[in-house]
């Protein structure tokens, strides 16, 4: 067994915690967890979760730059049963997509879009094949 026992959280730097929490909870279905200022670390943190996955949004309060966009997190991937319905909802909210949905293989689809801090997010629709 390695030194890692499991996944704990994903951290995304943001310049607007309220906007990030709203986006992930209202549009993506995450549940709000907590929000706090950690003076000793020089950060404000808010956490949201979806199943076993927790995303923490961090805003630096100690003068460090809140760098957002590419490089903060490469990408978070979200499963969906109907990628085109999900795209319609997100586009209706003014969400920016990076290109068009991509078909991989016969039945798998992927679409990349931007979160409120410029982070790349991906919708994934996979067709599961059951072998008898």
Q: How many CA atoms lie within 13 A of 115 on its CB side?
A: 34
- Residues 15-20 have a mean pLDDT of 94
Evaluate whether residue 79 is within a structural domain. yes
Evaluate whether residue 118 is within a structural domain. yes
Evaluate whether residue 90 is within a structural domain. yes
Q: How far apart are the first and last CA of the chain?
A: 33
Evaluate whether residue 5 is within a structural domain. no
CA distance 112 to 106: 19
The pLDDT value recorded for residue 128 is: 61
Residue 132 has pLDDT above 50, yes or no: no
Higher per-residue confidence, 108 vs 5 = 108
pLDDT per residue as tens digits for the range 86-116:
999 999 999 999 989 988 878 889 899 999 9
Residue 15 has pLDDT above 70, yes or no: yes
Evaluate whether residue 3 is within a structural domain. no
User: Alpha-carbon torsion 41, 43, 121, 124, what sign?
Assistant: positive
Evaluate whether residue 59 is within a structural domain. yes
Evaluate whether residue 2 is within a structural domain. no
Provide the domain count of the chain: 1
pTM recorded for the entire structure: 0.73
Residue carrying the six token digits 């067709």: 127
pLDDT category of residue 68 using cuts at 50, 70 and 90: confident
Domain region containing 115 = 10-125
Q: Are 124 and 110 a contacting pair, CB within 8 Å? A: yes
What beta strand segments (E) does the chain contain? 10-13, 31-38, 43-50, 53-60, 76-79, 97-104, 108-114, 120-125
CA distance 60 to 130: 47
What's the chain's average pLDDT?
A: 86
Determine how β-strand 97-104 pairs with β-strand 108-114.
antiparallel
**CATH, residue 21:** 3.10.180.10
């Amino acid at each position: 067994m390695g030194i890692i026992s499991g996944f704990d959280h994903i951290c995304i730097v943001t310049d607007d915690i309220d906007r990030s929490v709203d986006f992930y909870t209202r549009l993506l279905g995450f549940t709000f967890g907590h929000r706090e200022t950690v003076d000793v670390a020089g950060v404000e943190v808010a956490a949201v979760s979806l199943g076993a996955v927790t995303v923490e949004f961090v805003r630096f309060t100690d003068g460090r730059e809140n760098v957002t966009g590419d490089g903060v997190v490469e990408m978070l991937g979200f499963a969906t049963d109907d990628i085109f319905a999900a795209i319609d909802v997100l586009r209706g909210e003014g969400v920016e997509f990076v290109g068009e949905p991509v078909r991989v293989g016969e039945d798998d689809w992927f679409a990349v879009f931007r979160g409120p801090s410029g982070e790349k997010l991906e919708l994934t629709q996979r067709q599961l094949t059951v072998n008898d």
